Amino acid sequence: MKRQTSQLLREAEDRCRQSGRQWTAQRADVLAVMADQTGPVTAYELLDAIKSVHPNPKPATVYRALEFFMELGLVHKLDSANRFVLCSHQHQHHTAQFLICDGCGHVDEIPVPAKLLDVLEEQSARLDFEMADKGLEIHGHCSNCRHQH
């Protein structure tokens, strides 16, 4: 379910101000372009898309904006695919969980019960392992891709 870009920007601005950070036009542009994408994008694809708004975007500005939105929980990075995607759950969760299609690259963000994270934490504590990133990335094939074959 895609929220309207203007609403997304308002929410992002609110979240930004609540955390005492600065909301800038550049950041708003990056998020707006991000919202126009149909799925997860690489930093290069995003930079390319931003050219429709700014003729000469600075890569560093775009990367910094992405990092900023990741800190706010509005954007997630899919490490295994090296792509960025908007949070689709308004971040009522502490980590991000993704189903990634290896066929078409489609990604769904799914809510995972706190219970599952508790189990993971328990198991890693038993091995005295400290988890840094609790995001789960699950690879497979989506319904569309499977039914084409």
The closest of 65, 64, 86 to 75, measured between CA atoms, is 86
| 81 lies in the binding site for Zn ion (CB under 5 A) | no
| 89 lies in the binding site for Zn ion (CB under 5 A) | yes
- Which residue, 104 or 131, is less far from Zn ion as judged by CB? 104
The closest of 1, 2, 30, 37 to 16, measured between CA atoms, is 30
- Across the beta sheet with 97-101, the strand order is 107-109, 97-101, 136-140
124-143 footprint of Zn ion as x/- string (CB under 5 A): ------------------x-
Task: Single out the segment in contact with Zn ion by CB under 5 A; choices: 21-29, 41-49, 101-109, 129-137.
Answer: 101-109
The closest of 29, 56, 40, 64 to 48, measured between CA atoms, is 56
Candidate residues 42, 44, 82, 103; the one interacting with Zn ion per rule CB under 5 A: 103
Type and span of the H or E element at 69: helix 59-71
Smallest distance, Zn ion to C-beta of residue 128, A: 29
145 a known binding residue? yes
Residue pointed to by tokens 């203007």:
6
Q: Which residues are annotated as a binding site for Zn(2+)?
A: 101, 104, 142, 145
* Contact residues for Zn ion, defined by CB under 5 A: 87, 89, 91, 96, 101, 103-104, 106, 142, 145
